[in-house]
């Protein structure tokens, strides 16, 4: 896996890079593990825009990922590594001994033909899924559950990994990629290793067309708008933002720099030992 650059035949090509991975299978996704994915375009269930600059994009099929990994003691063989347009990490097609097929997030080092296993008795190898109780302290993990049986919620993106720092009774101490240190029930499961496709974060998209394929539309600066469109708008010529008291804000008036949006009395606060960004 490597980043591929191009000859500068145009200004966009000069800075464009793509990931070249010969291990990915050149085939259609497993039909039984896909379902339609309607376009949301940044709207909620009421049709109201909740995220700006979203729309269009290439048509996609959703790949059903097995984040629960509850097939304990049954060996699965990786038959293909595949691209998933719905996430930054690549996925692996696993065929179990009983014939069932599932997709899992492909960790670093997992290759076609290797086997994966779930359950308390699994070895400490990339791709194996175990309860935190059965994972040694200091192990690098990803796909971490927060609620037993709900499925993985943390460290699922490309290149992400967390560290199992300690175990205290029925709880395990985990250092997350953001730097946050929090407690998780030790019966929750996690997958050994780091999520693959770590080069994804270094891609230079190069031009607006590639962003449109991803469903990201052009972004207009607030200060370039009219005052009825954005709090920063208006003025003659290139006027400054001009909000000394509140500072920069979003289009809906929410502070944009240094403003904490996390709820002050969130129930999970008692499980956080050190918040992200803390010195």
Residues 258 and 161 in one domain: no
Q: Is residue 70 part of a domain?
A: yes
- CA 185 → CA 133, 152, 197, distances in Å? 9, 13, 28
Question: What would the mean pLDDT of 206-225 be, rounded to a whole number?
Answer: 93
Q: Which domain range does residue 11 map to?
A: 2-201
* Rounded average pLDDT over 35-43: 90
Considering the domain architecture, whether residues 90 and 155 belong to the same structural domain is answered as yes
Q: What is the reported pLDDT for 262?
A: 87
DSSP 215-256: TB-----GGGS-TTT-TT--SSSS-----TTT-SB-TTS-B-
Pair (170, 249) in one structural domain: no
Q: Tell whether the model's pLDDT for residue 279 goes beyond 70.
A: no
Has residue 218 been placed in a domain? no
193 and 122 co-located in one domain? yes
Predicted structure pTM score: 0.87
Q: Report the chain's mean pLDDT, rounded to a whole number.
A: 92
162 within domain boundaries? yes
- Which residues, listed in sequence order, are joined to residue 80 by a DSSP beta bridge? 93
Buried b (16+ CB within 10 A) or exposed e, 253-278: eeebeeeeeeeeeeeeeeeeeeeeee
**Residue 104 within any structural domain of the chain:** yes
Residues 247, 147 within the same domain: no
* 210 within domain boundaries: no
Residue 265 lies in a domain: yes
- Is the same domain home to 36 and 143? yes
> Which residue has tokens 């990786």?
78
Looking up residue 253, the CATH number of its domain turns out to be 4.10.950.10
Please indicate, yes or no, if residue 207 is contained in any of the structural domains. Answer: no
Boundary of a domain, candidates 139, 166, 201: 201
- Model pLDDT, residue 10: 92
Q: Which residues does 47 contact at the CB level (< 8 Å), separation at least 6?
A: none
Is 223 part of a structural domain of the chain?
A: no
List, for residues 83-139, the tens digit of each pLDDT value.
Answer: 999 999 999 999 999 989 999 999 998 999 999 999 998 999 999 999 999 999 999
205-213: Cβ within 8 A, 24+ apart: 205/16, 206/12, 206/13, 206/15, 206/16, 206/17, 207/12, 207/16, 209/12, 210/16, 212/56, 212/57, 213/57, 213/58
On whether both 23 and 73 belong to a single domain, the answer is yes
Overall domain count for the chain: 2
pLDDT tens digits, residue range 242-272?
888 888 999 988 898 888 888 988 999 999 9
């Amino acid at each position: 896996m490597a980043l591929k650059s191009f000859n500068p035949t145009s200004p966009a090509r000069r800075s464009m890079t793509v990931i070249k991975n010969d291990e990915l299978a050149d085939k259609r996704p497993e039909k039984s593990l896909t379902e339609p994915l309607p376009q949301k375009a940044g709207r909620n269930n009421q049709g109201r825009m909740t995220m700006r600059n979203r729309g269009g994009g290439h048509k996609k099929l959703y790949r059903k990922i097995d984040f629960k990994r509850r097939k304990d003691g049954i060996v699965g063989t990786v038959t293909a590594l595949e691209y998933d347009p719905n996430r930054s990490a690549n996925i692996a097609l696993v065929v179990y001994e009983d014939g069932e097929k599932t997709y899992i997030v492909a960790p670093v080092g997992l290759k076609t033909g290797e086997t994966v296993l779930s359950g308390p008795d699994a070895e400490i190898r990339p791709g194996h899924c175990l309860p935190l109780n059965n994972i040694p302290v200091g192990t690098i993990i990803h796909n971490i559950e927060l609620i037993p049986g709900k499925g993985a919620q943390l460290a699922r993106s490309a290149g992400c990994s967390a560290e199992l720092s300690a175990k205290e009774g029925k709880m395990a101490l985990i250092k997350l990629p953001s730097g946050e240190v929090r407690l998780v029930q030790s019966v929750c499961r996690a997958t050994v290793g780091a999520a693959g496709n770590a080069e994804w974060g270094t891609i230079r998209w190069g031009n607006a067309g590639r962003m449109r394929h991803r469903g990201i539309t052009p972004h207009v600066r607030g200060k370039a708008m009219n005052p009825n469109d954005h709090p920063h708008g208006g003025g003659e010529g290139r006027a400054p933002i001009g909000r000394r008291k509140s500072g920069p804000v979003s289009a809906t008036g929410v502070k944009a720099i240094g403003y904490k949006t996390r709820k002050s009395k969130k129930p999970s606060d008692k499980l956080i030992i050190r918040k992200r960004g803390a010195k």
